[in-house]
Amino acid sequence: MFRNSFADAAVHPAFRARQRGFAGLGPVCRSCVRSRVCGGGLYAHRYAPAADPVFSAPSVYCDDLAVLVDHIGARLRRDVAELTAPRGKASR
Ligand code: SF4
């Protein structure tokens, strides 16, 4: 912080690795149907010493993220169906 500029930090490999988006995910996350929503979870939660690169594993909270993403998706589909249904036809 005292010796380097923001520009120096921005080109550091560890900094750049976090900005790769979908391309920065590991093979499990890239093939996951939830990856466009989940994004592999928080970068730090993808750490696995045996992975290469070490932040390419699925999130340690993968199971929870899957439940959350599925729940939100189901709720959104239901609410959108209700909001777009002809009046008097929607049900909860
Ligand atoms: S962390 Fe789990 S739910 Fe999220 S993209 Fe990766 S495999 Fe899918």
Tally Cβ neighbours within 10 Å of residue 40: 25
Q: Round to whole Å and give the CA distance between 46 and 72.
A: 22
Confidence at 90, pLDDT banded by 50, 70, 90: low
Tally Cβ neighbours within 10 Å of residue 65: 21
Confidence at 87, pLDDT banded by 50, 70, 90: confident
Distance (Å) from CA 29 to ligand 1 centroid: 5
Length of the chain measured in residues: 92
Q: Round to whole Å and give the CA distance between 14 and 20.
A: 11
Longest dimension (CA), the chain: 66
Which pTM does this prediction carry? 0.81
Tally Cβ neighbours within 10 Å of residue 24: 19
Choose one of 25, 31, 33, 35 to mutate for the ligand 1 pocket test, by most ligand atoms within 8 angstroms of C-beta: 35
Residue 24 CB–ligand 1 contact under 6 Å: no
Q: Which atom of ligand 1 is nearest to the CA of 33?
A: 8
